[in-house]
Structure 1
Amino acid sequence: MDALKPQRNEPARMERLAKLPVFWGLEGKRVVLAGGSDGAAWKAELLLACGAELHLYCEESELSESFAALVAKGQMLRWHDRPWAPDIFEGAELALADCETDAEAGSFYDAARAAGVPVNVIDKPEFCQFQFGSIVNRSPVVVSISTDGAAPILAQAIRRRIETLLPLSLKDWGALAQTIRERVNLRLAPGASRRSFWEKFVDRAFTERLDEGSEERLLADIGMQVARAGSGRGLVTLVGAGPGDAELLTLKAVRALQAADVILFDDLVSAEVLELARREAKRMLVGKRGGRESCRQEDINDMMIRLAKAGKRVVRLKSGDPMIFGRAGEEIAALEAENIPVEIVPGITAASAMASRLGVSLTHRDHAQSVRFVTGHSRQGKLPENIDWQSLSNPSVTTVFYMGGRTAGDIQSCLLAHGMPASTPVVVMISVSRANEQRWCGSLAQLAVAVERLGVNEPVLIGIGDTFHSASAAFSVTGSEEANSVSVQKAG
């Protein structure tokens, strides 16, 4: 089992934060605010919306029109017609001020700190212990966005995008969650079954309309989770991580990562993808990479079975699509033999990512009548012996070789020997969709030399066929390719 030990440093569970996001309960709490400007009025509205008992200190001449209207409404706002003084901080939960000068801001800040009250001076970050974010309000669901004061316009743009993603009905679903939470906690113990219930709750919140039967259906879900918890078994989800770019993950893949207790991930899975996983999930590298020391497939199967039998929700995270050259068949068979539930979440396979990056259709009707994905790496580390080279040698068949870096010379020789023209367009891509992506476009006659120049330490994808002609033509202009040399383009 030594092969299952981590072979690289794990990504940090939490990258560095500029500020700690904290949601502060202010219901019935005393908050003091100095200044009557429009900016102060906006902060007052936020504080009052949280149920704070707000005490405003400023002279009448300082009250803006909007703040005067707010004072007239009453609510939990008490206006003191005098300037602030050190005595206002007693019993306060928070202190805010709108100060014209740095000297006044410094005095307010020092007085609040001396009284032990957290302080914010509006629009003067050097005198702020805490800051306000841009808010999306679906209370009790509240989203706050901060750029640490660097780009308020960016925060507002992010808020607008989130507004479009969160349905207004989320407010009602949040209220329903508060209603049933105690019943859920009484019937479901902390851990996988309770978390699974809330994950299904979230799926409903984003896909169903809240109606009179919603609560009954949720209570039925509780019963199902109780029954499942009694079985003592977890499940395994095979998840496709795509070619590397985290933005190419499916929503279902992200949900699976967020629900995992344990993540067994391949060496090619990017740190950006792992960053989207549940923070508490245990992450284990089970690296499988051609030409390098890797875990035995039998050990990976045994680990998945053992963890699932212990009641864990296991995610087997594979680069690309788990059902394309991902040994998923062996893993599914092993799990099913032990009666362990298996779910599959497909991912974007590397060939699709390559086509997207090149702007090339793999099945362009003018150039390709079919497309084939072929492994360039058998169990013995060589080309498989049963490849039908005669059919692949037709340039109108788009062929993409996976893991073909170390066998590129043999691929070239076999295709030429079976009649494929030496001028057939070929594309080689390294680390497709990643920051270190490289690409080469040329002809079949140059393939072996090109791969030798590129190297095989990163994932190599080889595309062959007439459909790549447009990519080759574009590359010959930007890459300054010579007949007997190899030019490489990096991502950018």
Structure 2
Amino acid sequence: MRDIRKPVERRPVRLEPLSVLPVFCTLEGKPVLVAGGTDAAAWKAELLAASGAMVSVFAEDVSEEMLDLLRDGAASGEIMRIGRDWSAADLDGMAFAICDAVSDEEAARFHAAARAAGVIVNVIDKPDYCQVQFGSIVNRSPVVVGISTSGAAPILGQAVRRRIETVLPRALSVWGNLAERVRGKIMTQFAPGAGRRAAWERFVDRAFSGLLPGLEKTELATIVGVSASEDRGRVTLVGAGPGDPDLITMKAVRVLQSADVILFDDLVSDEVLELARREAKRMLVGKRGGRESCRQEDINALMVKLARQGKHVVRLKSGDPMIFGRAGEEIAQLEAAGLPVEIVPGITAGAAMASAFGVSLTHRDRAQSVRFVTGHSRDGGLPETLDWNGIADPATTTLFYMGGRTGARISTRLREAGLPAETPVAIARDISRPGERCWFGTLAALGDGIGEVGFDRPVLIGVGAVFADAAARAGMVSESGGGHSPVRIPA
């Protein structure tokens, strides 16, 4: 008898240690001192003025960049030049003080004077004399992202900034200002809790669409959707991809960040779960062949129950939820209960395998179609309804999911249907994960390959002529036509 497992809640990992505490400072209308007329000092002066500060630049000599800044002004605040070097008395009453010191002696003197005056101090490129440090910035004001590497790797911080720049739409600035205007209305219209959070989530979904909002009086209703009295829970089926967190979609990350409860499968990696909202409850509801599992009926009932409580339930599945993920049954149950359901696709294991091997599954000279086929039935054997004659088409690339335990039988059935024994075959276990193992060989040796790779973890079998080139590149096909021991294919 098959063991049945109850859903298990997994608590999120607590906050990891911080090398620095990120704090944002309001400088609107406050006096700030910048000592030095260099290009570096000009950049800091412009940055401080952009935040609304009243900047005084103390310097006898200034660079061309500083002259341009003094002439053209900054986007906000004010910048003026005092044509002499700084003195300790100049620091009195300042909110912030920055110096581009010419020596360690000047750096120490400036730092001591600022501390004595009770002023926050930063000496450019001299972390020993800094109370605070400047990181890289992504500006979508009022949304501002600061990035710090604690001074250890500024180039890395700049690379992170470029990555963030690509995912934050320029229109986010407009949406941020709109959020400030409509905040009071949303707080009035929606009670604290799931309803209010759902309204903001709909707002955020629109904000990340890249579109600009209208300014009509009816805009709030358009953005947040249903009224508070009509609000209810919802379920989103999300594809977690094959395991590598870099292969999850940006939309999937946004959904995970808005979840109240996450029902996740065994094969979802911890790295993907780390992308979720910290406050979200995580519940393991995994189903694995040959192991104790949660019943699908219990998972369906749990989704309905939680959604009816007004929660945003995320059903997180490995790969793509619509490929061998039992999504059809779950969608039918949710629709029957009158609950809204959305699907966020993910990268399926077959696509990850093709990418890792550098193989086009539909290379026009070798395959005109591709099939995704389940490698086991409800009872653990091969499905009786498979069209083996069709699957054995030599112009088709076939990917068998969950076929580890039936690999030898798959080989036999395909050869009985007429597929040549020397047809190239590839096996991948834990594709895109740290424990990834791969094997290349022929259809006749498929059973041996499964024995070498093992099937204690998810196994994917690829059959077809398209795998010949990958095998040759990896030097994996022996003269006897069999295969070689499993190897890790470099990313």
Aligned counterpart, 1:416: 415
Distance 1:374 1:77 in 2: 68
Q: 1:69, CA displacement in angstroms?
A: 6.5
Aligned counterpart, 1:31: 32
**RMSD, aligned CA:** 3.1
Distance 2:171 2:483 in 1: 61
Distance 1:10 1:396 in 2: 48
TM-score by length of 2: 0.87
* Change in 2 beyond 3 A, CA 1:478/1:392: closer
* Change in 2 beyond 3 A, CA 1:485/1:462: closer
* Change in 2 beyond 3 A, CA 1:367/1:163: closer
Which range moved further: 26-35 or 261-270?
A: 26-35
Q: 1:322, CA displacement in angstroms?
A: 1.1
Q: 1:320, CA displacement in angstroms?
A: 0.9
- Deviation sequence 1:8-40 (CA, Å, 0-9, x none): x76636555443332211123343433343322
Aligned counterpart, 2:484: 486
Contiguous gaps of at least 5 residues in structure 2: none
Q: 1:427, CA displacement in angstroms?
A: 0.9
Q: Does 1:126 align with 2:125?
A: no
2:111 corresponds, among 101, 109, 114, to: 109
TM-score by length of 1: 0.87
Distance 1:462 1:51 in 2: 61
Aligned counterpart, 1:472: 471
Any idea what SS the aligned residue of 2:106 has?
helix
Residue identity matched to 1:336 = E
Any idea what SS the aligned residue of 1:299 has?
helix
Superposed, 1:51-450 pairs within 5 Å as 51-56=52-57, 58=58, 61-64=60-63, 66-67=65-66, 76-77=78-79, 84=86, 91-113=93-115, 116-160=118-162, 162-163=164-165, 166-207=168-209, 210=212, 213-214=215-216, 216-222=218-224, 224-229=226-231, 233-450=232-449
Residue identity matched to 1:489 = V
Residue identity matched to 1:108 = F
Any idea what SS the aligned residue of 1:224 has?
coil
- Deviation sequence 1:199-250 (CA, Å, 0-9, x none): 3334434546547555533334446242433xxx301111111112223323
Alignment check: 8 A CA contact 1:427 1:463 kept:
yes
* Change in 2 beyond 3 A, CA 1:116/1:225: farther
Distance 1:329 1:406 in 2: 25
- Deviation sequence 1:91-123 (CA, Å, 0-9, x none): 543332222222332343345445554321111
* Change in 2 beyond 3 A, CA 1:127/1:172: same
Q: 1:461, CA displacement in angstroms?
A: 0.2
Q: 1:277, CA displacement in angstroms?
A: 1.9
Alignment check: 8 A CA contact 2:334 2:341 kept:
yes
Q: 1:417, CA displacement in angstroms?
A: 3.5
Distance 1:68 1:114 in 2: 31
Distance 1:115 1:93 in 2: 10
Distance 2:188 2:123 in 1: 44
Any idea what SS the aligned residue of 2:400 has?
strand
Alignment check: 8 A CA contact 1:135 1:144 kept:
yes
Any idea what SS the aligned residue of 1:395 has?
coil
The number of equivalent residue pairs is 484
Distance 1:453 1:208 in 2: 49
Alignment check: 8 A CA contact 2:235 2:313 kept:
yes
Alignment check: 8 A CA contact 2:441 2:482 kept:
no
- Deviation sequence 1:245-297 (CA, Å, 0-9, x none): 22332333222212211111112112332232223222222222223333222
Aligned counterpart, 1:451: 450
Distance 1:415 1:114 in 2: 83
Which range moved further: 166-175 or 18-27?
A: 166-175
Residue identity matched to 1:96 = I
* Change in 2 beyond 3 A, CA 1:316/1:178: same
Task: State percent identity of aligned pairs.
Answer: 58
Q: 1:418, CA displacement in angstroms?
A: 3.6
Residue identity matched to 1:441 = F
Q: 1:195, CA displacement in angstroms?
A: 3.1
Contiguous gaps of at least 5 residues in structure 1: none
Any idea what SS the aligned residue of 2:289 has?
coil
